[in-house]
Amino acid sequence: MHVEAVRVELFLPHVHSLKEKRAVIKPIVEGIRRRYQAAVAEVDHQDKWQRSAIGVAVVSASAHHAREVMDAIERFVWSFPEVEVVAVEPADA
């Protein structure tokens, strides 16, 4: 069993309320769940309008496949023009 987990720090420059933030973050989180069958959640900055941190975990039978899926998820997050990816770092164990 191989596990890949990352924390993605996001900046949302055009968001001015928590409601707007949810409207931006929800399609990212739900898209990761639906497209990649990965575990994903907003893990920090829930009370901040323009910041978010998303935790993503992938479990696979092979390390290569887990890394491929995580790379695809990172590209998926980068594809959203309304967010700026500040950092992608390995999740704390």
- The CATH number of whichever domain residue 33 belongs to comes to 3.30.70.1120
Give the pLDDT band (50/70/90) at residue 92: low
The pTM of this model reads 0.89
Residue 26's pLDDT is 96
Number of structural domains found in the chain: 1
Task: Say if CB 17 and CB 49 are below 8 A apart.
Answer: yes
Counting residues of the chain whose pLDDT is more than 70, the rounded percentage is 98
Averaged confidence pLDDT in the chain: 94
Q: Is the pLDDT of residue 93 over 90?
A: no
Residue 61 structural domain: 2-90
Laid out side by side, the sheet with 84-90 consists of 39-44, 51-60, 2-11, 84-90
pLDDT tens digits, one per residue of 52-70: 999 999 999 999 999 999 9
